[in-house]
Amino acid sequence: MRLDKFLSHTGFGSRKEVKEILKKKVVCVNGKPEKNGKKSIDENKDAVSVYGEVVNYKKFVYYMLNKPKGVISATEDNLHRTVIDLISEVDQVPGLFPVGRLDKDTTGLLIITNDGELSHQLLSPKKKVPKLYQAKVAGLMTAEDVLVFSTGVTISGNEHCLPAKLMILETDVESETTLINLEIVEGKFHQVKRMVEAVGKKVVTLDRQSMGGLFLDSQLKKGSYRELTDEELASLRN
Ligand code: URA
């Protein structure tokens, strides 16, 4: 790994900020001062210090992405841009992947990490991790739909869903549209869209707002990401 990337990953700022630190000749690799950010180091073996303090390498990284429309939840694709392509070069580490999938036209919270164990915990059907979506629906959702979802709706004719919380936020009788929040504890393929279809309506836009205890940062623009804070990571682990 390049020294500038290592320093950026371990909390010394953007590549520009790291350049400034390197210029000050306060960074040492195995005891020798080093100014060249391009220098290749072994993050598991070489001892890097800044102002005499040894810097420990973080094995795992955790990013919160506000996924925009039009990119796919995969690590690579020959045709389309992926969510991993949205992570800037300096923040790329080997083995990054999205935790679960959002459809190409779905926006909102997506966790990007290289921590397979955490991902497994969050996606395991046994854990029933809640996921909150906001959707604009063509058609008027009703109190009966709330009841059907709360007891477990059947989708595509024979797939039974676990009970889900449907909240009707706004109904617009004129345009026959409804704004809803829907909390589900599973991750079936196109689940929200198929649940809404099962009661005779259609999802027009879909945005994920939370997963487990983690809420999408409202300051994060579509296509932007940031590292999770220690508190956010702890709440996710809980
Ligand atoms: N449900 C869907 O239908 N699509 C998504 O992207 C996520 C949940």
Distance from Cα 177 to the centre of ligand 1, integer Å: 19
Count of Cβ atoms closer than 10 Å to residue 134 Cβ: 19
Q: In terms of residues, how long is the chain?
A: 238
Kindly report the pTM of this predicted structure: 0.83
Identify residue 59 by its one-letter amino acid code.
Answer: K
Contacts of residue 229, defined as CB under 8 A and 6 or more positions apart, other chains included, come to none
Pocket test for ligand 1, best of 65, 102, 166, 211 (most atoms within 8 A of CB): 102
Domain with CATH 3.10.290.10 in the chain: 3-54
The predicted pLDDT at position 1 comes to: 87
Topology of the domain comprising 3-54: 3.10.290
Point out the catalytic residue in the list 42, 46, 91, 103. 103
Whether residue 178 contacts residue 201, with contact meaning beta carbons closer than 8 Å, is answered with yes
Cβ–Cβ under 8 Å, residues 152 and 191: no
* pLDDT tens sequence for the chain (238 residues): 899 989 988 878 888 899 999 999 999 999 999 999 999 999 889 999 999 999 988 789 999 999 999 999 999 999 999 999 999 988 888 899 999 999 999 999 999 999 999 999 999 999 999 999 999 999 999 999 999 999 999 999 999 999 999 999 999 999 999 999 999 999 999 999 999 999 999 999 999 999 998 999 999 999 999 999 999 999 998 8
Q: Which of 115, 109, 80 is nearest to 97 (CA)?
A: 115
> From the CA of 40, how far away is ligand 1's center (Å)?
41
Query: Would you state the pLDDT for residue 87?
Result: 96
The pLDDT score that the predictor gives to residue 15 is: 84
pLDDT of residue 92: 87
Distance CA 148, CA 164 (A): 9
Q: Which residue has a Cα nearest atom 4 of ligand 1?
A: 190
pLDDT of residue 24: 95
CB atoms within 10 A of CB 162: 12
CA distance 60 to 10: 11
Secondary structure (3-state) at 30: coil
Q: What pLDDT is recorded for position 80? A: 94
pLDDT of residue 40: 95
Q: What's the Cα-to-Cα distance from 1 to each of 20, 23, 56, 232, rounded to whole Å?
A: 19, 19, 14, 27
Superfamily grouping for domain 130-211: Alpha-L RNA-binding motif (3.30.70.1560)
Closest ligand 1 atom number to CA of residue 193: 3
Of the candidate CATH numbers 2.40.50.140, 3.40.50.12780, 3.40.50.300, 3.30.70.580, the domain formed by 62-125+217-237 belongs to 3.30.70.580
pLDDT of residue 215: 97
Q: What is the DSSP letter of 112?
A: E
Say whether 103 is catalytic.
yes
Closest CA to ligand 1's atom 7:
102
pLDDT attached to residue 59 = 80
Residue 192 in contact with ligand 1 by CB distance below 6 A? yes
Q: Is residue 199 within 6 Å of ligand 1 at its C-beta?
A: no
